[in-house]
Chain A
Amino acid sequence: MADRFIYGRCLVQRRKRQTNYSLYCSLGMRWKEARLVAVLQFQIFSSKGGVLRRNGIYAKVMLSKRKGMSAMELEFNYIDIEDVAFADKTCVEGKRLLVCQQEIIDLVLQEPKIESVKVDIALPGESTRILSVKDVIEPRVKLDKYGGYFGGVLRPVDNIGSGKTLVLRGAAVILTGPFEEFMEGIVDMSGPGAELVPFSKLRNLILWVKTVPGLDYGLNKEITKMAGRKVAVYLAEKAKEAPVSELKTFRWEPVDNDLPRVGQVLMLSTRSPNDAYLYGNDIAPIIPTIISPLAAIDGATENVSCRLNAHRHTTYQHQNNPVVFDGLERHLKEFNFAGVIVTLERISHQEKEKNSTLAANLAELLRLNGVVVTEENAGNPDADLMMVCRKMETRGIKTVLITDECAGSGGTSHGLSDTTPEADAVISCGNANTEILLPPMKKTIGDPSTIGKTNGTHADSLKPDGSLRMEFLGIPSCCSELGDGRLSCVMA
Chain B
Amino acid sequence: MEKRLKIVHYVNQFFGQLGGEEKIGMAPLLQKGPVALGTQMNSILGNRGEVVATVIAGDNYMAESPDKSALEVVELLRKVEFDLFLAGPAFFAGRYGLACGAVCAAVNEHLEKPVATAMFPENPGVDAYKLKVLIAPTGRSASSMREDLPKLVALGLEAAQGKDIPDCEYIIQGRRANVFKEHRGSYRAFDLLYKKMHGLSFETELPMPVFDKSDPAPALKDLSKAEIVLLSTGGVVPMGNPDRMATGNSTKWCKVSIDGLRDFAKGSWEAIHAGYDVTIANVDPDRVVPLDVAVETVEEGKIGRLHPYYLYTVGNLTQVDRSKRFGEEIAAYMKENHIDAAIMTST
| A interface residues (Cβ-Cβ under 8 A, vs B) | 181-183, 217, 260, 262, 271-272, 322-323, 325-327, 330, 334-335, 347, 369-372, 378-380, 398, 400, 402-403, 405-408, 410-417, 419-421, 423-431, 433-434, 455, 458-459, 471, 473, 480-492
Contact = CB atoms under 8 A, between A and B. Distances in A.
Contacts of B322: 408, 413
B320 A427 contact: no
19 contacts: A182-B247, A371-B193, A398-B193, A402-B185, A410-B131, A411-B175, A411-B177, A417-B320, A419-B210, A420-B208, A425-B196, A426-B204, A426-B205, A428-B205, A481-B185, A483-B186, A484-B185, A490-B205, A492-B176
Contacts of A482: 185-186
B42 interface: no
A217 B277 CA distance: 10
A319 to B, nearest CB: 14
Contact of B180 (A405, A413, A424, A487): A487
A427 B317 contact: no
Nearest to B347: A347
Q: Is the interface of A mostly helix, strand, loop or mixed?
A: loop
B184 interface: yes
Interface residues of B, number: 52
Contact of B190 (A334, A471, A480): A334
Contacts of B182: 486
Contacts of A488: 178-181, 185, 188, 205
Q: Of B184, B186, B246, which is in contact with the most chain A CB atoms at under 10 Å from its CB? A: B186
A416 B165 CA distance: 23
A487 B204 CA distance: 15
Contacts of B274: 181-183, 455
B180 A486 contact: yes
A413 B177 contact: no
A459 B244 contact: yes
Contact of B185 (A183, A427, A434): A427
A322 B196 contact: no
Contacts, number: 194
A11 B69 CA distance: 83
Interface string B201-233: 010111111110000000000000000000000
A408 B319 contact: yes
Contact of A415 (B164, B176, B181, B204): B176
Contacts of B173: 492
Contacts of B180: 486-488
A403 B196 contact: no
A407 B197 contact: no
Contacts of B204: 423-426
B177 A400 contact: no
Contacts of B194: 334-335
A14 B250 CA distance: 66
Contacts of A398: 193, 196-197
A326 B179 contact: no
Given A369-B197, A488-B205, A492-B173, A483 B189 contact: yes
